[in-house]
């Protein structure tokens, strides 16, 4: 399988998955009201701020695993905007490591099935919580989205085909 970017390795697919995570995560985060970080649907559930902190921890863990370490930390949520910045910086660090040609110690499938897939799942939770909090995120045909390997920052392209 060859991607639009010309890559065909498992690391290329991981990098495109990180770009997808940044795009879809950025969409779920953009425009959230300040109060959203503390929104809670029931006692004992995580707030969006706590979920986003967990996603940042997952990306830190992904980098550690890629480098051959199994270092997990359970961070307390930062203020919302700082946590958003932390997420994109953590994704950037994982992508840079994968792009560097450095040895990938952890098998790519393990990186995907663990921290990366978990992060995708949690962004689904954040999107659902946006709707429940009265600040929904528009659906989108992600097949038509302009997602490019290496574009993992907060600056993402405008959606091509959103649903009302």
Q: Are 53 and 38 in contact (CB under 8 A)?
A: no
Position 1 scores a pLDDT of 34
Q: Report how far residue 61's alpha carbon sits from residue 147's, in angstroms, rounded to the nearest whole number.
A: 24
Give the number of other Cβ atoms within 10 Å of residue 129's Cβ. 22
How large is the angle between the packed helices 117-132 and 10-29, nearest 10 degrees?
20
Q: Are 60 and 53 in contact (CB under 8 A)?
A: no
Position 8 scores a pLDDT of 67
- Give me 61's structure tokens: 């863990």
Using the structure block, give the residue that is written with the tokens 């970080």: 37
pTM over 0.95: no
Position 2 scores a pLDDT of 37
Residues shown for the chain: 164
Assign residue 6 a region (left: φ > 0; alpha: ψ between -120 and 50; beta: otherwise).
left
Contacts of 37 (CB under 8 A, 6+ apart): 47, 48, 49, 52, 77, 79, 80, 83
Q: Which of 14, 5, 8 is nearest to 109 (CA)?
A: 14
Q: Which of 21, 68, 37 is nearest to 135 (CA)?
A: 37
Per residue of the chain (164 residues), what is the pLDDT tens digit?
334 554 669 999 999 999 999 999 999 999 998 899 999 999 999 999 999 999 999 999 999 999 999 999 999 999 999 999 999 999 999 999 999 999 999 999 999 999 999 999 999 999 999 999 999 999 999 999 999 999 999 999 988 888 87
Rounded CA Rg of the chain: 16
Position 161 scores a pLDDT of 87
CA 25 from chain center: how many Å? 5
């Amino acid at each position: 399988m060859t991607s639009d970017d010309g890559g065909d390795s498992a690391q290329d697919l991981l990098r495109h998955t990180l770009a997808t995570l940044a795009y879809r995560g950025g969409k779920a985060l953009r425009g959230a009201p300040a109060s959203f970080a503390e929104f809670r649907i029931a006692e004992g559930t995580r707030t969006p701020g706590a979920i986003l902190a967990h996603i940042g921890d997952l990306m830190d863990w992904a980098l550690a695993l890629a480098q051959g370490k199994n270092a997990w930390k359970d961070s307390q949520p930062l203020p919302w905007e700082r946590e958003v910045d932390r997420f994109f910086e953590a994704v950037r660090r994982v992508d840079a490591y994968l792009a560097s040609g450095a040895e990938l110690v952890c098998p790519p499938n393990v990186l995907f099935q663990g921290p990366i897939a978990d992060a995708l799942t949690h962004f689904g939770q954040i999107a659902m919580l946006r709707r429940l909090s009265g600040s929904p995120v528009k659906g989108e045909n992600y097949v038509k989205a302009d997602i490019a390997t290496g574009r993992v920052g907060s600056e993402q392209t405008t959606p091509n085909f959103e649903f009302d």
